[in-house]
Structure 1
């Protein structure tokens, strides 16, 4: 028969094992969360109207950070990238110009390699061509991005944003999670 002291020590040992088990479980959850946020996806919030009507102010999105490790970005992808002049600020725009192409905005219309783009996004005539008033030729792994609400967007036309390099792309907007009435996978084309 066990003494009271032995029972107490055995019970204390079981409590310690239980706590240690929970601690390991919590550490594993934190580790997996860190890996997912760092390499797979992250939540981001749309601020402003530069992507209207596709995305609205206050929309919450999940950004796919892994697909560009396996494939190249494509024209019309909605991407997220850091704004270089303000820490922890990310912009959401649409890829319009691809590596090796020459982009120019003439009379408010986007021309790529001398041909009018003829897209459904950004249907309004752009008031300001910015740096694309003259032909802009993209180098390897460089992208020209525009907001869908062209006259209310700071994008590649503005030298503070400029041409993006592939390494600047955090990821591709994937799913809208808020508001619930708009929940779903984001269409890029």
Structure 2
């Protein structure tokens, strides 16, 4: 009888170990290939995102399609590979972006940007016109105050391959900002 209890306990322990091991492997696979979480630091995406917002980042969609205009993406910082940036895709390969008089023009048409602060002025640095090459996108932070965002105005167009995911859901804080990102 005592022997049966020991065998049963050992078997049960092994089942727990297998289950925990399987759960860890599944969690690693999900985090690596399907989605991740992102913690917002800084104000480069204000007013859309605030410091300390927490987001779900969808990785799997990038295996099937490139990001589109208006998508909020997480990318490897071109000027510091140990950091990630969060920015909005403004233009795709083949598009021309021009910034003049504080307004963004996409392929000659003024870009309607309902996600930036009212009367925001988009500053430029060294350049004011970009042609987006194949395999690249042009990104901007939603905060257009001078020096508030390191983005394509600062480091040029970014490779689609440097994009790590699309931010599509804010899970913290709860309340009126909780939910799908637009």
Distance (whole Å) between structure 2 residues aligned to residue 87 and residue 79 of structure 1: 16
The aligned counterpart of 1:129 is: 124
| TM-score of the aligned structures, taking structure 2 as reference length | 0.90
1:71-114 CA distances to partner (integer Å, 9 max, x unpaired)? 33111111111214445422111111111112121121112223
The aligned counterpart of 2:142 is: 148
Offset of residue 70 of structure 1 = 1.9
Aligned residue among 70, 75, 88 for 1:94: 88
Number of corresponding residues: 177
Distance (whole Å) between structure 2 residues aligned to residue 86 and residue 120 of structure 1: 30
The aligned counterpart of 1:39 is: 33
Q: Which has the larger radius of gyration?
A: 1
Which aligned runs of 4 or more in structure 1 are off by greater than 3 angstroms?
84-88
Matches within 5 A, 1:68-87: 68-87=62-81
Offset of residue 64 of structure 1 = 0.7
Asked whether the equivalents of residues 98 and 144 of structure 1 are also in contact (C-alpha less than 8 Å), the reply is yes
Q: Secondary structure at the match of 2:29?
A: helix
65 and 131 in structure 1: CA distance in 2 versus 1, 3 angstrom threshold: farther
140 and 87 in structure 1: CA distance in 2 versus 1, 3 angstrom threshold: closer
User: Structure 1: 5+ residue runs without aligned partners?
Assistant: 1-6
